Structure 1
Amino acid sequence: MTDTLLDHRAEGPASAPPLLLGPSLGTSTRLWDKVAPELSITHRVIRWDLPGHGGSPADLIAAGATVGDLAALVLSLADSLGVERFAYAGVSLGGAVGLQLAAHHPERVSSLAVICSSSHFNGEKPWRERADLVRREGLAGLAETADSRWFTPGFTVPELVDDHRKADPEAYAACCDALASFDIRGALPGITAPTLLIAGREDPATPPAHLREIADAVPGSSLTELSGASHLAPAERPEAVLAALRTHFDGYPGRGMEVRRQVLGDPHVDRAQSRQSPFTARFQDFISRYAWGEIWTDPTLSRRERSMITLTALVAHGHYDELAMHIRAARRNGLTPDDIAAVLLQTAVYCGVPAANSAFATAQRVLAEEVGEEEA
């Protein structure tokens, strides 16, 4: 019996919030190879292939297909996996499927990211012509020009070009039919899912203006433009796409940055941010997401309790510069000088007297500075 489901790949904990990732025309799940593993840390990531692409059966789609037909296949896949409500991100045709789902099945989409896509793809004619060409001549010719349509000059991902070459021509042409008839502009104002638009500034297929048009129509949406990115941004600028998707789907580093400022104070965070360089950018993102966006936001312990634990850990490892910073943070979190002294006295027993001696000296200096600032 012919398989009636889209081929897919699932990653991440089964209990994590589901996130579906949709591909661009001519590609496969490999489009997400540099992004999906990181997203799967916090989500159950489900990548899917278009009909006739990757491992999906070609006969799931036929001539005259619509984006609505593709959206129905995605919902069937989600149903088969027991996924009722999900976050969704898609590139180009995969992004159009996301818009279709968010507009016509709002109860299923919790959050949406549309990458290098459009609400209308420049009308019917170019896609009807491409469909006719592929039905006559196959995909070899189009695959030869894939790099110029997908990437900035000099960049390529051979595996994706190979996916293009190996796609089923009739299924590819049917996907072109779907793009030809797609125009969802009238439904955009009704989309209620939190929506992020990501545009590649050097994308010739769906230029930033197409994403701005969606952003202007979808209430509360936001737009990010990526320099040095063409049409397949997740393959060409994976770190930038990953950072944008994490912020959108997880609230990081936005939520983490807010907590970081509350605990450490604006002057400290501003200094750290001003010193950030391309070399340290990923580390700063790591801090905001994990230390401040996950650990410090966990309601199991109060911030006061977390400060006490942090002071003890820093004394134990001799990190006295960090200790000074966190003594200031402890004061913001409600610890009095007597509370801090009691914590440091506890460390004398379990971390050693010399460590506690250095910690008391650091604390005395910081607290004296605080008094001086108050008197000034």
Structure 2
Amino acid sequence: MTHHSQPAPVLPGRDARDHHIAWQKAGYPCRVLTPRTQTPGGPPLLVLGGGLQSRHSWTRLEHRVPDRRLLIPDLPPARSPGQTRTHLTWDDLTDAALAAADQLRIDRFAVLAVSSGYPIGYRLAQQHPYRISHLMLFGAAPQPRPHLAALIREGLQREATTTTDASPERRHHAAAQLVKALTNTQAAEKYLLLKAAARVMLAQLTATPHDPLVRYVFDRGSLLLSNALPAGGLTGVPALVGVGEHDTATTVEDNRAVAATIAGCTFLVMKHADHLLHLERDADFAAAVTLFLDNQPLATVAHSAVELLP
């Protein structure tokens, strides 16, 4: 899930390339997977991951959505350490994401945005509705829950007083704090897939020599403290908002509140799932994405409750 993860394998039947996106404020790489088929699988899908995820974090989805072109960018971090500090806004990151489609000459595309990627996906659809065929948001909240907000503020304080390098003990402690804030440890004791996903997250967060909490703040965490959900609502774009029933980082109520700002939004609650849906229930997650992109009912997604909001 970190920007230092190993490259994802190239899949049979697809061409995979890293493109350098020359955005005006900071260039970044974008992984593009193109099916070797004469029949298009619909508009390309732009995947916007959450905090500390990279273009190599979506291997399971890549395997399960073989017939559609995928664009998976490593957007620049909102903040950067050192003497020349960068402070990007949600609108900046939205412009950066759009730059990938523009540079790749893609006029119309679908958006899948999870966790702290959701404010960017929402803004893309709000600001450029004519370019977005479908919008899918998972793990969305108008503002972070108090326990996560407190952890972000701790990360901001730590950023101001320390370097990003940390001892193994400190890295592990910070990673454990993040995992506890972003996952439901109580539900994980009952559902082994939830526990396994949390372990994967913990291992990946501790795999680099940097403080995971400070990196989370640099990446996008600090922006969550204000204006994650823009005012004005959203109309004119087919939209799906989904959440795991055991999600305590962005609860069912949080996601429902976001969905209520989108006209005609489909709302999905996935049973036996937490915040890391794409890892915990990867087959059902991919099925929900595929069905929605194909304008098909989501009733066949296992262990899920679906409703259409006004």
TM-score normalised by length of structure 1:
0.58
Specify every segment of 5 or more residues in structure 2 that has no aligned partner in the other structure, as ranges: 1-19, 189-194, 304-310
Q: Do structure 1's residue 38 and structure 2's residue 56 form an aligned pair?
A: no
Aligned to 2:197: 156
Aligned to 1:86: 109
SS at match of 1:9: strand
Q: Do structure 1's residue 8 and structure 2's residue 40 form an aligned pair?
A: no
Aligned to 1:222: 266
Matches within 5 A, 1:260-339: none
Tell whether the 8 Å contact from 2:145 to 2:249 is kept in structure 1 after alignment.
no
Q: Do structure 1's residue 103 and structure 2's residue 126 form an aligned pair?
A: yes
What amino acid sits opposite 2:94 in the alignment? A
What amino acid sits opposite 1:47 in the alignment? I
Tell whether the 8 Å contact from 2:240 to 2:266 is kept in structure 1 after alignment.
yes
Provide the alpha-carbon RMSD of the alignment.
3.4
Tell whether the 8 Å contact from 2:21 to 2:100 is kept in structure 1 after alignment.
no
Distance 1:79 1:223, change over 3 A: same
Q: Distance in 1 between matches of 2:241 and 2:205?
A: 25
SS at match of 1:83: coil
Residue from 226, 229, 246 that aligns with 1:202 = 246
SS at match of 2:263: coil
1:155-175, Cα deviation, whole Å (9 max, x unpaired) = 236554454344976664242
Distance 1:200 1:5, change over 3 A: same
Matches within 5 A, 1:327-366: none
Q: Distance in 2 between matches of 1:229 and 1:167?
A: 31
Tell whether the 8 Å contact from 2:139 to 2:243 is kept in structure 1 after alignment.
yes
Aligned length: 252
Q: Distance in 2 between matches of 1:136 and 1:108?
A: 43
Tell whether the 8 Å contact from 2:75 to 2:97 is kept in structure 1 after alignment.
no
- Per the TM alignment, residue 7 of structure 1 is displaced from its structure 2 partner at its CA by 2.0
1:204-228, Cα deviation, whole Å (9 max, x unpaired) = 1111111111222211001111122
Q: Distance in 2 between matches of 1:199 and 1:211?
A: 7
Tell whether the 8 Å contact from 1:25 to 1:172 is kept in structure 2 after alignment.
yes
Residue from 66, 77, 80 that aligns with 2:100 = 77
Aligned to 2:287: 243
Aligned to 1:232: 276
- Per the TM alignment, residue 129 of structure 1 is displaced from its structure 2 partner at its CA by 3.9
SS at match of 1:8: strand
Distance 1:20 1:114, change over 3 A: same
Tell whether the 8 Å contact from 2:27 to 2:76 is kept in structure 1 after alignment.
no
Tell whether the 8 Å contact from 1:51 to 1:58 is kept in structure 2 after alignment.
no
Distance 1:64 1:168, change over 3 A: farther
Distance 1:191 1:63, change over 3 A: farther
Tell whether the 8 Å contact from 1:63 to 1:173 is kept in structure 2 after alignment.
no
Aligned to 2:9: none
1:169-189, Cα deviation, whole Å (9 max, x unpaired) = 66642422322222435222x
Residue from 145, 151, 157 that aligns with 1:132 = 157
Matches within 5 A, 1:116-131: 116-122=139-145, 126=150, 127-131=152-156
Residue from 122, 142, 147 that aligns with 2:179 = 147
Tell whether the 8 Å contact from 2:179 to 2:201 is kept in structure 1 after alignment.
no
What amino acid sits opposite 2:72 in the alignment? R
Q: Which has the higher contact order (CA 8 A, sep 6+)?
A: 2
Q: Distance in 1 between matches of 2:97 and 2:60?
A: 22
Higher Cα Rg, which structure = 1
What amino acid sits opposite 2:35 in the alignment? P
What amino acid sits opposite 2:76 in the alignment? P
SS at match of 1:186: coil
Q: Which has the higher helix share?
A: 1
Tell whether the 8 Å contact from 1:200 to 1:225 is kept in structure 2 after alignment.
yes
Identical pairs, percent = 23
Tell whether the 8 Å contact from 2:61 to 2:278 is kept in structure 1 after alignment.
yes
Residue from 11, 28, 51 that aligns with 1:25 = 51
